[in-house]
Amino acid sequence: MITIEHYSFQTTDKLYFVLDYVNGGELFFHLQRERTFTESRARFYAAEIASAVGYMHSLEIIYRDLKPENILLDSEGHVILTDFGLCKEGIKTNQTTTTFCGTPEYLAPEVLKKQPYTKAVDWWCLGAVLYEMLYGLPPFYSRDTHEMYENILYKPLKLRPTVSSAARNILELLLQKKPQLRLGSGEKDLNEIKEHAFFASLNWVELESKRIQPPYNPNVAGPEDLKHVDPEFVREPVSRSIRGSDKVMASVSEVDDAFIGFSYAPPAEDTFLAP
């Protein structure tokens, strides 16, 4: 799943986006608390992440910023991708782009080399996130950014024997430094990921229809529960909020009236649901 933008507008000094409220917490938050996930839990998250990324690829969109901070859990524990600021549209299979962007720990070697790159950079990032879920740190992590970049470019991948051989194999294939040899880099894209032995126990049809129970339930009390939101953000004052206006609605069904005049609002008949 991906977050849906419902409205957007701008004032003279601010740009506003009205998105889904997802309150199961960041994957980063849960991973920091637990250090590592079991292999079955990591498999479930990796599959839902891959499904969302593959969907974006099918729309000719490259994501470029896959990391635990951009992966949220909904109230039931399903994965939701967010933050599409580094996305690029119109990228067909094997078409390249050259913008240097992303988060240091998750940059693919071809991006660091400033070479033209394809959607395969997203599968590198999936490998980095899966590695972090299984081992507790990104694969080539160093506090020294220069050293980390050198590691990404030249250091062999180190895999401890604490996970299955299938898990080690998919990490080797996703974190392949040569993008043309990377799992998912060909025309099959997501389907190549799905066919790997690491996901052999998983029914993709059930996964993509959300019929598989998540391995972790955030146990939120309701749609406004803040238990997984960092108190630092909860304490921040909300300046120039619609809450301070006389347009606050008592009924959720009336909330659309609060956004009359926005520069973007979806059509009333729009029933689009992203997988």
Query: Residues with catalytic annotation?
Result: 65
Rounded to whole angstroms, what are the CA distances from 7 to 74, 125, 231, 255, 263? 20, 29, 26, 12, 8
- Judge contact between 126 and 50, C-beta under 8 A: yes
Rounded to whole angstroms, what are the CA distances from 239 to 14, 218, 226, 242, 244? 11, 29, 19, 9, 9
CA distance 57 to 92: 8
CA dihedral 111, 54, 6, 214 (to 10 degrees): -110
CA distance 86 to 206: 30
